[in-house]
Amino acid sequence: MNSAYIYNNRCSGVATASLLMSSRRVKAFSPFSFLFFYFFIFSFFTSCRTDDIIVYMEDIDTGAPAAPTEVKGMYVLCEGNMGSNKATLDYLDLSAADSTVHYLRNIYAERNPGEVKELGDVGNDIQIYGSRLWLVINCSNKVEVCRASDAVKIGKVDIPNCRSVAFHEGYAYVSSYVGPVSISLDAPLGQVWKVDTLTLQVAGRVTVGYQPDELAVVGDKLYVANSGGYRAPDYDRTVSVIDLQTFAVERTIDVAPNLHRCRADRYGQLWVTSRGDYFDNPSRLCWLQPDADGQMQPGGQIDVAVSDMCIVGDSLYYIGVQFNYNTMRNEHSYGIVDVKKHEVITTQLTDAPEAASVKLPYGIIVHPQQRDFYLMDAKDYVSSGELLHFRSDGTFDYKVRTGDIPAHAVFLINNIK
């Protein structure tokens, strides 16, 4: 076992000392007492909590030269395999405080030692709004809110089966599957919860489609991508449109089955991904655009599989992992889409051999000015992943070990305190 992992034995120090003192008198015991004594020791230690794993922070020097930019650092949220309670938060220090770039692996536990179960089960989204860092922890049914500057916890909001978060004018909007993790045609409709970002009080909730995932704000409307993932093969295929002034669903837009990502570009368009049905209906990238009356409508689709994306300027960088039950294989894809022209301009982000070694591309984030980019490799889902850094021309720079299933990242800008 790696030295960074130890089992947390929560036995009382006083009780342990008493046991050690008692052990010196064992030779005076009768045979019955001797057996009773060892039964007591066995019962005591097996009753102690040895099932929790503490992952201590590691400071990893990448060796890459550090140069100051407007980006101070980058938080990486690692999902952790579902049911393992191993979601972790990593931090890439880009501040140039040292001459090289450092990667701090698992900072949440150290910054928040009072949190018994640490971050929780399945980290599903991470965003910064104002001076606060928001962490959506799906199967722990909570949103953790921390100081963006150092990830020290401020509070939390309890939301069942929460998925993603978006912000608008002092409120956070969190999508929720509502029901437990269970594949069933009886799975309930989802909801969006409205949370005051200062008080962390729930200000309202509204029912949307089945199993809503990502959501995005354009103007005074909130658009929610409904997946219906629990109701397979009867997937949802709609985007719910919420009027933020009334916080009510005003209509739905039919798009494609099993929607997932939902991102807005600088032209007021929405880019929504469809995961398809994993059989004969493949994954697609769809765009929605406002009509003459300002109503968002389907604009078209591009035949590429997109599992994650990052929009910078007119460029939508994407990675795709498409699984097909007919072939029982994952197919990987990379590329850039011009959001203004609605066309793929390249199906390659880099020709560096290090990119070909990525086993399971799971996340991508692109520097908003420099356009260097990071790929997150989930590997086999149950062991440490990797973060790979590439310069804007695709040249490989470095890679570093992360927590389990690195999936979501957000840049910390220098003016955030």
**pLDDT for the residue numbered 7:** 26
**pLDDT for the residue numbered 54:** 55
**Paired sense of beta strands 259-264 and 270-274, if any:** antiparallel
List per-residue pLDDT tens for the chain, 417 residues long.
333 322 233 333 333 333 333 333 333 334 334 333 433 433 433 344 344 555 579 999 999 999 988 999 999 999 999 999 999 999 999 999 999 999 999 999 999 998 887 899 999 999 999 999 999 999 999 999 999 999 999 999 999 999 999 999 999 999 999 999 999 999 999 999 999 999 999 999 999 999 999 999 999 999 999 999 999 999 999 999 999 999 999 999 999 999 999 999 999 999 999 999 999 899 999 999 999 999 999 999 999 999 999 999 999 999 999 888 888 888 899 999 999 999 999 999 999 999 999 999 999 999 999 999 999 999 999 999 999 999 999 999 999 999 999 999 999 998 766
For residue 1, give every residue at least 6 positions away whose Cβ sits within 8 Å of its Cβ, in sequence order, or none. none
Chain mean position to CA 97: 27
Q: Global pTM?
A: 0.86
Cβ proximity of 376 and 39 under 8 Å: no
Quick one: which of 297, 184, 203 has its CA closest to 251? 297
Chain mean position to CA 240: 22
Domain ranges within the chain, ordered by starting residue: 5-47
